[in-house]
Structure 1
Amino acid sequence: MIFQCINKKRKENWTGRISSIINYGSHFEIKIESRSGILVLVGKTSQGNFACIPDWGAGCHLACLSDEFYNTEKLSNVIGTVDGITVASALAAIADEIDLA
């Protein structure tokens, strides 16, 4: 799946691609290719949704996957602006396809 990323502050955009989504029942593994390759684990806890980026030693809580603004803010704080925008855009693109219930 191809998705678009937009950095409004720098007025730039780029394309990303989700190369795989694996449902483990308790969480999803999502492989994202863009300016870099990012493996993201997404799931739900009693505190809400979360994203873990194990290769970067990073993670954070998320809003619903379609809330691109909030998720970009949270992810950018732990993995940087460009990659935070990329992951938040990817999650928004697949929000209707995966169920974190």
Structure 2
Amino acid sequence: MEFFCENPAAGHADDRIWKGYVKQLRRHGDTVEADISGKGSAMHVIIGRYEYGRYLCIPDCGVGSTLAALDDCFWNREQLERQMGRTDAITLSEALKAISKELEDMG
């Protein structure tokens, strides 16, 4: 699955818009695993549900965060930026939005 990312604050035009990809989307009950890539980064993510909502875990990067709704790019990006760079946080938040649409189609 392909999606687009945007960082209007980037200095160079080439850094403002890029493509991202979700590969190997797997659902196991309330847990989803996916490989997400964009702008030179690749991450294996685990998205789960717990009593207070959803969470995201990226074991290889040592990143973990609570999430708002999967399609809430602003809130999710801000949470992820605390632990990683802006470009990767934007890529992940847009990937989560794309995944939310895919999960709706999966039922």
**TM-score (ref. length: structure 2):** 0.86
Aligned pairs for 1:57-72 within 5 A: 57-72=62-77
Q: Highest CA radius of gyration, 1 or 2? A: 2
Distance in 1 separating the partners of 2:78 and 2:19: 19
**How many residue pairs align between the two structures?**
99
1:88 to 81, 93, 105: 93
Distance in 2 separating the partners of 1:63 and 1:41: 15
Deviations 1:50-100 (A, max 9, x none): 10010011100010001011111111111221111001001111212226x
Percentage identity across paired residues of the two chains = 36
Distance in 2 separating the partners of 1:54 and 1:79: 13
Moved over 3 A (4+): none
Matched, 1:46 2:51: yes
In structure 2, the partner of 1:24 is 28
Structure 1 residue runs of 5 or longer lacking an equivalent are: none
In structure 1, the partner of 2:102 is 97
Distance in 2 separating the partners of 1:58 and 1:42: 12
In structure 2, the partner of 1:36 is 41
Matched, 1:4 2:11: no
Q: Which has the higher helix share?
A: 2
Question: 1:30 deviation in Å?
Answer: 0.9
CA RMSD of aligned residues (A): 1.3
Aligned partner of 1:89: which letter?
E
Distance in 1 separating the partners of 2:2 and 2:87: 17
Distance in 1 separating the partners of 2:85 and 2:53: 22
